[in-house]
Structure 1
Amino acid sequence: MDQRYQVFISSTFTDLIDERREVMQALLEMDCLPAGMELFPAGNTDQWSLIKGVIDQSDYYLVILGGRYGSMTEEGISFTEMEYDYAIERGIPVMGFVHADADEIAAGKTDKNEAAAGKLAKFRAKAQTRMTKDWKNAEDLGSKVTRGLIHLIKNNPRPGWVRGDSAMTPETRAEIAELEAKIAKLEKKELETATTGASHMNDAYAHGQEEVELSIKHEGYAYGRQEEDGDLTYTWDEIVDVLGPFMIDEAPEPALRKTLNSHMLSEIQGDPKSWSTGWSHESAEISDRSWGAIIVQLRALGLITIGTKKRTVSDKAVYWKLTQAGDDYLVSLRAEISSVIKI
């Protein structure tokens, strides 16, 4: 696979223009992708996020130290040293190239400020605690970079970059095709299961005339906004009877919950002994916990399943529908109820 590596070049700029050009040429001849301050103003603190992003995307980091410490931030740290420290922090393989003889550097390419010169000396010492090579001039630096980077790549493998058409090998294509076939098979099986649903109710769980207590909040207005919490007790048959007809076809959960809330409000209004009466604009709302318990129980019984119809992207609601077992149970429940009702 034709793999290329992105290499970040860090250094001061105006004093090392020729050296940077030589390094970039060496990297290009190695089919590497050079990256560095040519992409952004090195002394602009607003560009620090961009600089970090480019370093993050790089496979290797090279720092070139000459006779200048470079422009500094308000904290007194040069951008070159900040870049170096960030590359170390991110675990990117680093290699330094330090001028072999500081006394041989032209006066116009060295720091006149003693404080800056001191900071450069400390930075050189820090860089030399890791892999470094000395260089004398631009041509020497270019050849040292080539040999040094070969060694760095060999001992520190990195992901690199590949062309999109090269990344898709025949083996990868075959593997993807196999995975797609498995996914399609599983989706088909899941769809078939969801369509038919459970054929028999799992009566190992509470159902029928067994009762469940639901927590609700009752709100309304009577001399101001009023609110009270309480419980209502239902059998599982009553819950299926209220919600089941709406799930013969798929129904969104918010609508089902609203249906149960309306049913509970009717219960409250018909029971003045247990609840406040005479309120206006009343509402009743089942608690999240109780609603969740209903959904879990009906699923455990095998009476409902998640809907599978295609919907718009903006429709985020969960849809529920009766399984075959749920439909059969609702029919038998309704038939039994009808037998005792005078029609």
Structure 2
Amino acid sequence: MEKKYQVFVSSTYQDLIEERQKVIEALLGKNCFPVGMEYFPAANEDQFTVIKKLIDRCDYYILIIGGRYGSIEPKSGKSYTQLEFEYAISRGIPVASFYHAEPSKLPAERVESTEVGKQKLGEFKKNVQEKLCDSWKEPYELAFKVSRSLDYLFENSPRVGWVKADAISSAEANKEILFLKKENEKLLEQVNRLSLRAPIGSENFQQGNDTYNIIFHKRPSFSWGDDKEYEEKDDIQRDVSWNEIFLSIAPGLFNPVPYTEIQNYLFKPIHKLLGISELDYIIDEKNQEVIEIQLLALGLIETDKVIENGVYTYCTLTPYGRAEMVKLKAIKK
């Protein structure tokens, strides 16, 4: 019988919203049921009592540590995140933990502001690192490592899991699966809504009508060895808005394109936009890197891998990128 697993996702919340979203997407992609306190209000019971009941029903436990220690449970003086971790360990639930590799580079609002908080976070991380754990820097990297760790846990720490309703006879189990199905649908709906929003923090990046200076080098007539030595006097410079850049390349990335052809789909349209011959001029390499990274940072494009007869890397618009293209390009009444 095909099993599905329920996975508790534990972390501080406000500073790790995007990271939690990516992890939830990864869990849903593995046919797992993500569980977190944000989806289950405490009702008439104290918060940690509810948390323990939820953890007891889970097959696996994922811990994400950023730069904050988290809300303190009054009786113990420990954060709810640490109490969740310790409870999962005490119940013998397989745990995989992930801590930020460079917390010193996080924005001030995403790190502990007090020495006491920093000390408690440090002690907590030390305990966590005695178990199965890994570090991460970016949300997409975290999601990949969570997925890989779950594969390891599925094989080495098998759990009871959940099966389809027609494979079991217990009425109570059928009721439980129906409940989880509804929760799964609710999470999918939430993920879809979030995917149509700009990434958290992207408001700090240049975008929209902000302009960017692009340098075009004249290609040398003859190349002897290094063809990257361009004559500065032959350069052409143009100021282009990020909206213009995005709208020039968006139609070509509506469907996934092989990363090996990225020059044709990402930079050739910019030549066409500005009326600069691609045969005679080439965009500066640094400009190429900045344009690609900026569009990734703004959540307008994404890259991913498909493993099929080798590794196939592609680039395409994100759901948010498609929505922005329609908003900017569609003809209005």
TM-score (norm 2): 0.49
Provide the TM-score with structure 1 as the length reference. Answer: 0.47
Larger radius of gyration: 1
